[in-house]
A and B are shown apart, each in its own frame.
Chain A
């Protein structure tokens, strides 16, 4: 009899492990049918509900930082399009100030490269940068992983999500990536107009026309970005000395190029530009307008648009139709309360 129990016990454990893997539920992101295919290969690496849930918990947990004070959400707040408003340059651990304005986290599955300079080439390895940066979370994986493995809650959550006993860096990075891949904004007024559900006002329609004539080259519909890198003629900040994409490629053609940000939810993601130098859309449009005094440095690259003050108001009215409150207040994206 005792022998049978000894044989049966391991079998139950084995079934238990099998069940952990089987409990993983595949999910898919939803987006309009006229959108391009995401850059992320969901066929090869599908999303799983349990991994997304785990990634969301990690995203909001300051355990990722060295002093348990800074979470991803510290600089990427859901209500403000997952960016850090009110600060030109985002701040991290011990009130350190970084050198760039935290970018929005919107429709990341369509991006090929990440960060303002494209230094990160895959969303799965993106989290390494803020976790390890001295001015962001000031941590490293070698310190963080034992902390997670000895945690009261995380070992079980990781096991449910990945079916393995030990928490590894690959699992941590995948979980964070999976949550961020679900951050899809496709329910703005613009989208509803495109779907034939709503109509633009006359002012918005005029703004849309101006947008298509002047902005669509870089902020291309429907994502409102080409996801490429451009030099928009901003005078380089003498203190920050940020040469942008050049820092990654070391090619002179990439000097002062930064990633074209999406304009979706632009109403909420102020301040603007990679260094947060402009506080409102009026200032941004003034930068691009022909009647502004050109910068001494870098002016040859400046895209110039010719619009009147009146047209500027219409263009801004259109940009506000890119706000997606269903995205900003999506209960699946906010702080996990249970």
Chain B
């Protein structure tokens, strides 16, 4: 009984202040924080670039301990929308102090959720992340343009698709956490530079191009101060 009380006491003590991880998604371009619709700020391959829209789903958030055991899972999907700064910050709360090493999440919506009917909340089909002509969520949406000598060259990447062999959901693993304040950098310069030149500027349906670009998204996620 005493042990039980001590355990409860410890939990209460721990959870009073420290049992919360905050996760902030921070897109960057040229090493600087990204602002939407900002001209004259960023360049990619010597062209000025303007980003007008960045939205993506983060789901199955979990923290992993040094024994590679999942210690905390948040099964819901979160729509991260740069136009809504509050959506870029998430919190994970605990009942007790945990030794956590890694932070992992799914970039995009898994196939089971994709085939399970109508959802509300962050998965509401009115949020611009659901295709209407073909069932399925857009996992990652990036829109903008390059200002070139010949005028603006627009690009639209609506990456999604849940059917094999073109399933696009990715797992992002960010190892060795040192702080409870997790800042996840998203390096869009790295992504835009890695896109093969022969691909079209508008990729807006599932298929091999969407799959290829989704795979190119994985290495652009990193922890700040890594």
Query: Chain B residues near A177 (CB, 8 Å)?
Result: 117-118
A120–B131 CA distance with the chains assembled, in angstroms: 10
Q: How many A-B residue pairs have CB under 8 A?
A: 65
A34–B37 CA distance with the chains assembled, in angstroms: 61
- 1/0 per residue, CB under 8 A from B, across A247-261: the answer is 011110000000000
Q: Which of A125, A129, A131, A141 is B117 in contact with, Cβ under 8 Å? A: A125
How many residues on A have C-beta within 8 angstroms of the other chain's C-beta atoms? Answer: 27
Query: Chain B residues near A133 (CB, 8 Å)?
Result: 132-133
Known contacts A170-B124, A248-B163, A250-B208; is-contact A122 B117 (Cβ 8 Å)? yes
Nearest CB in chain A: distance from B98 CB, A: 33
Query: Chain B residues near A169 (CB, 8 Å)?
Result: 118, 120, 124-126
Contact B133 A141, beta carbon cutoff 8 Å: no
Contact B135 A125, beta carbon cutoff 8 Å: yes
Asked if A174 is at the interface of the complex by the 8 Å CB criterion, the answer is yes
Known contacts A131-B132, A133-B132, A250-B208; is-contact A124 B125 (Cβ 8 Å)? no
Query: Chain A residues near B124 (CB, 8 Å)?
Result: 168-170
Contact B166 A248, beta carbon cutoff 8 Å: no
A314–B126 CA distance with the chains assembled, in angstroms: 51
Query: Chain B residues near A248 (CB, 8 Å)?
Result: 134, 163
Nearest CB in chain A: distance from B164 CB, A: 9
Contact B166 A119, beta carbon cutoff 8 Å: no
Query: Chain B residues near A145 (CB, 8 Å)?
Result: 126
Asked if B144 is at the interface of the complex by the 8 Å CB criterion, the answer is no
- 1/0 per residue, CB under 8 A from B, across A110-140: the answer is 0000000001111111001101110000001
- 1/0 per residue, CB under 8 A from B, across A35-77: the answer is 0000000000100000000000000000000000000000000
Residue of chain B at shortest CB distance from A143: B126
A132–B125 CA distance with the chains assembled, in angstroms: 12
Contact B206 A124, beta carbon cutoff 8 Å: no
Query: Chain A residues near B165 (CB, 8 Å)?
Result: 251
Query: Chain A residues near B208 (CB, 8 Å)?
Result: 250
A142–B134 CA distance with the chains assembled, in angstroms: 18
A197–B133 CA distance with the chains assembled, in angstroms: 44
A121–B135 CA distance with the chains assembled, in angstroms: 6
Query: Chain A residues near B125 (CB, 8 Å)?
Result: 125, 128, 141, 169, 173
A287–B203 CA distance with the chains assembled, in angstroms: 39
Nearest CB in chain B: distance from A119 CB, A: 4
> Other than the known A124-B118, A128-B125, A169-B124, what 12 A-B pairs have Cβ atoms closer than 8 Å?
A121-B115, A122-B118, A124-B117, A125-B118, A128-B132, A132-B132, A141-B125, A142-B126, A145-B126, A168-B124, A249-B163, A250-B207
